[in-house]
Amino acid sequence: MIHFFDPSNPKMASKIPDIATKVDVLLGNLEDAVPTDRKAQAREGLIDIVSTHDLGATQLWTRVNSLDSPWFLDDITRLVGEVGNRLDVIMIPKVEGPWDIHFVDQLLAQLEARAGLERPILVHAILETALGVANVEEIVMASPRMQGLSLGPADLAASRRMKTTRVGGGHPGYLVRSDPDPAEPDAQRPTSQQDLWHYTLARMVDACAASGARPYYGPFGAIDDPIACEDQFRNAFLLGCVGAWSLHPSQIEIAKRVFSPEPDEVAWAKRVVESMPDGSGTAMIDGKMQDDATFKQCQVMLETARQIAARDPEYAALYAL
Ligand code: GLV
Ligand code: MG
């Protein structure tokens, strides 16, 4: 999970050392949700937190203000110049096309050279404009710095003029209804709510998989609905996303659980891989046909589990890895 915090809020900043032990990525947010009169304070707060805390193995990211804002240039210049050696990834909001990534790539190259950095800072783009979605493949292939993409369902809904005011998740009006029963035309007809974000997530996952970048579901705004949050995260996980944002400490545990494969799925994957040592041919396991392709599916599951187990002894025990 990518855990968002507001560096202009001293109360939140004081919790950083503790939260850093619970999350994969800590992200100091400078963009939306930070009021305009606290933009400079957020930037200074982030520089201060990064300079004074050791976050251990937890990655440090920032979300800077958009490229067309009055704050972006100071955000990137100050951060790279003063704490660039501690920054893993810069998240760029409202990316519309490869030209935005080319600009950031060149600017980062200049600032990194000036600061004498030896490790490139990576770039993560938020997919949150209609034009960005239309250009998603070119965006993700625009630079070798591209670490990944996140869906930004709030800005994207506004950009597309979708008629939802929610931050991610479903909507009760977006549904399909079964046909009427001719024998009982007045009977209630079952409906099934559909996923408003399926199309965009699927395009994002394909673009990322094709280029080697990582796809993330973004924010889920209903902090008071952990079940719906879990469902949205799980849809993203099953479709190929590697994580999501946590906007509140209560979402950290949800993201961790949902984006970690189930232990019985991992045990099954191990069984399949062990029964086909070179990954070719066929095997029948509990009535299910296995071949080269299912071997690869199982390797995806196992590799994910191994990466999680390497960071987390609890999961290492659960997975017996
Ligand atoms: C996130 O930035 C969003 O707009 O949903
Ligand atoms: Mg946004």
**Residue 12 pLDDT:** 82
Q: Is 276 helix (H, G, I), strand (E, B) or coil?
A: coil
**Residue 14 pLDDT:** 83
Residue 222: half-sphere exposure toward Cβ, Cα within 13 Å? 16
- Whole-number Å distance, alpha carbon 319 to ligand 2 midpoint, is 36
- Whole-number Å distance, alpha carbon 81 to ligand 1 midpoint, is 27
Asked whether 243 and 2 are in contact (CB, 8 A), the reply is yes
Asked whether 78 and 45 are in contact (CB, 8 A), the reply is no
CA distance 80 to 115: 7
Residue with the smallest CA separation from ligand 1 atom 3 is: 152
Query: Which residues of the chain carry a pLDDT beneath 50?
Result: none
Residue with the smallest CA separation from ligand 1 atom 2 is: 152
DSSP state of 38: G
CA distance 65 to 69: 6
Q: Is 3 helix (H, G, I), strand (E, B) or coil?
A: strand
Say whether pTM exceeds 0.85.
yes
Looking at the CA of residue 245, tell me the nearest atom of ligand 1.
1
CB atoms within 10 A of CB 296: 11
Helix pair 226-239, 198-211: axis angle to 10 deg: 40
Q: What is the pLDDT of residues 20-30, one digit of tens each?
A: 999 999 999 99
Domain architecture of the chain: domains with CATH: 2-258 (3.20.20.60), 263-319 (no CATH)
DSSP state of 189: P
**Residue 75 pLDDT:** 98
- Which residue out of 155, 220, 245, 246 has the highest number of ligand 1 atoms within 8 Å of its CB and is therefore the one to mutate? 155
CB atoms within 10 A of CB 295: 20
Residues with CB under 6 A from ligand 1: 32, 126, 128, 152-155, 167, 218-219
**What value does the mean pLDDT of the chain take?**
96
